[in-house]
Amino acid sequence: MLKVSQLWCWSLGATKMQKDFFSTKLPQEVFSLFGLFSPVSREKISLEQSFNRVLAEDLMAPQDLPGFPRATMDGYAVVSKDTFAASEAFPVWLKVVGEVRMGEIPKYDLQRGEAIKISTGGMLPQGADAVVMVEHTQIVDQDTIEVFKPVAPLQNIVLADEDFAKGELILPQGHRLRPQDIGILAAFGKQEVLVYKRPKVALISTGDEVIPIEQHPLPGQVRDINSYTLSALVEESGGVPLRMGIIKDDPKQLRTFCHEALDKADVVLISGGSSVGMRDFTLEVIRSLSGSEVLFHGIAVSPGKPTLLGKVGHKAIWGLPGQVTSAIVVFLIFVKKFIKWVGGERNFPLQEFRIVKAKMRINVPSVQGREDYLRVRVYREGDTFWAEPVFGKSGLINSLIRADGLVKIDLGKEGLYKDEEVEVILF
């Protein structure tokens, strides 16, 4: 314990030790804090631009779909009763009285003993209640067909309201629009869609050693990897990245940048100065902003422990670890869901499934009392997916280049065994 408290003294000063020690959160506690933040405002956009956007209202069917009874096969519209006795040996003969033209209301009402030629998608004529597939018929002459197989009532057709009935809920508020969802909006003639705005996410890079990418680094300096990596991650999460630039390890400058960022954006990400001093004053600067509250400072996750979340008015400031590997892990586990949450998304079936089950290739030890995220390469042998750890110091980005995803080692586990089944969260 002595050694742990010493660490906290180093970084925070002894007077704050106790308070901040207890502000370390478990992952589940972090997620439960999301409810303190509301979604961004809404906007109307054109259907063409709505792919991957988040619905901001429940979508109900404004009318029946398809709106009229349709054939689902090529063949003949018939009265199903007429075909009940049909067989290969004793086909039924029907009189062909016309053809349904695509896109038009059929000109004939069907009578018993009659058939009307129809294509997939054609409107069923009055009097007909089924379609005989063309494969089950034979042309006898210009006006007559043989039917070899009976059809049941409603067979090979869809009813006017069978896809969606007027008033039915099609898609709920908070649903991210997939291609088929765009299709259903088109079907109902929705040229505009009410969606949540894409959350604006301001990115501040900090550190005396960090330089813009267009400069050539001197020994001791590194280019600003984080804000470019985080920009792409923000895009992937449905947000709009705003790169604010790089600041030195200077609380005054950080405070100015925070004010500006809170003005322009819904969420602020500070990718933390790697120096110890910087970590302190990120916390102090957030505390000093009016109306601010630090929700936590430290999470029981490795890598990613020094993460913090502050609330300033209704906006959020995240302090992320300075090492890019840690920053990416924290982003994928927490910040991505947070941006989606603020972006109004409430219904994540797919996101949850960007997971593949794999078997561990080797034993991996871990530390109890925190969630460990292991970088792994995934490959396939026959029906088995294998997860092979990609080791690498957390200051190195190459492990992330070689890896395909992350494996979580739960708080209570001492590690993973070879051949144990794990879930890989894919990049």
Q: Within 72-131, which residues bind a second copy (CB under 8 A)?
A: 72, 74, 101-106, 119-123
**In whole angstroms, what is the distance from residue 157 CA to residue 94 CA?**
19
Q: Quick one: angle between helices 251-264 and 276-288, nearest 10?
A: 50
CA dihedral 157, 160, 163, 166 (to 10 degrees): -170
Element (H, E) at 241: strand 240-247
Q: Is 217 in the site for a second copy (CB under 8 A)?
A: yes
Q: Considering beta carbons, is residue 312 or 371 the nearer one to a second copy? A: 371
Q: Which range binds a second copy by CB under 8 A, 29-37, 205-213, 257-265, 291-299?
A: 205-213
Binding characters for a second copy, 220-239, by CB under 8 A (x = yes): xxxxxxxxxxxxxx-xx---
Q: Which stretch binds a second copy (CB under 8 A): 132-140, 259-267, 280-288, 290-298?
A: 132-140
- Residue 154 CB, nearest distance to a second copy (Å)? 10
Which whole-number Å values give the CA distances from 82 to 99, 109, 154, in the listed order?
19, 15, 13
The interface region with a second copy, picked from 47-55, 256-264, 289-297, 412-420 by CB under 8 A, is: 47-55
Interacting residue with a second copy among 7, 14, 362, 367 (CB under 8 A): 7
Residue among 253 and 275 whose Cβ is closer to a second copy:
275
Separation between Cα atoms, residue 233 and residue 248, nearest integer Å: 24
Asked if 4 interacts with a second copy (CB under 8 A), we say yes
Q: Is 210 in the site for a second copy (CB under 8 A)?
A: yes
- Kindly state whether residue 186 participates in binding a second copy, applying the rule CB under 8 A: yes
Do residues 319 and 270 make contact, with C-beta atoms less than 8 angstroms apart? yes
CB of 349 to a second copy, least distance (A): 6
In a 13 Å sphere around the CA of 14, the CA atoms on its Cβ side amount to 2
**Selected binder of a second copy within 45, 378, 390, 411 (CB under 8 A):** 378
Tokens of 365: 């030890």
**Tokens 């991210």, residue located:** 176
Kindly state the smallest distance separating residue 95's Cβ from a second copy, in Å: 19
Residues 262-301 that bind a second copy (CB under 8 A): 273-277
Among 163, 250, 280, 420, binds a second copy (CB under 8 A): 163
Peptide bond preceding 303 in cis form (omega within 30 of 0): yes
Bridge partners (DSSP) of residue 316 are 267, 311
Closer residue to a second copy in complex, CB, 349/412: 349
Torsion angles phi and psi, residue 183, rounded to 5: -60, -45
Residue from 43, 146, 209, 284 touching a second copy (CB under 8 A): that is: 209
Which amino acid belongs to residue 88?
E
| CB of residue 335 to a second copy, shortest distance in Å | 12
Q: Is 252 helix (H, G, I), strand (E, B) or coil?
A: helix
Question: Cβ closer to a second copy: 66 or 251?
Answer: 66
Per-residue tokens: 427: 């990049």
Q: Which two tokens stand for residue 56?
A: 């901001």
Instruction: Tell the smallest beta-carbon distance from residue 208 to a second copy (Å).
Output: 4
Which 3 state secondary structure label does DSSP give 367? coil
Both tokens of residue 283?
């916390």
d(CA 408, CA 364): 12
Stretch that binds a second copy, among 29-37, 211-219, 283-291, 309-317 (CB under 8 A): 211-219
Q: Per rule CB under 8 A, is residue 57 in the interface with a second copy?
A: no
For a second copy, the binding residues in 14-43 under the rule CB under 8 A are none
Site string for a second copy, 166-185 (x = CB under 8 A): ----xx-----xxxxxxxxx
Q: How far is the CB of 406 from a second copy (least distance, A)?
A: 12
**Distance of alpha carbon 129 from alpha carbon 326, whole angstroms:** 64
Of 316, 324, 360, 374, the one binding a second copy by CB under 8 A? 324
Query: How many other C-beta atoms are found inside a 10 Å radius of the C-beta of residue 60?
Result: 13
Determine if 303 is a binding residue for a second copy (CB under 8 A).
no
Q: Which is nearer to a second copy, 299 or 400 (CB)?
A: 400
Cβ proximity to a second copy, 129 vs 181, nearer residue: 181
Percent helix, strand and coil across the chain, each rounded to 5?
25, 30, 40
Site string for a second copy, 339-368 (x = CB under 8 A): ----------xx-xxxxxx-----------
Instruction: Specify the residue for token string 């396939």.
Output: 380
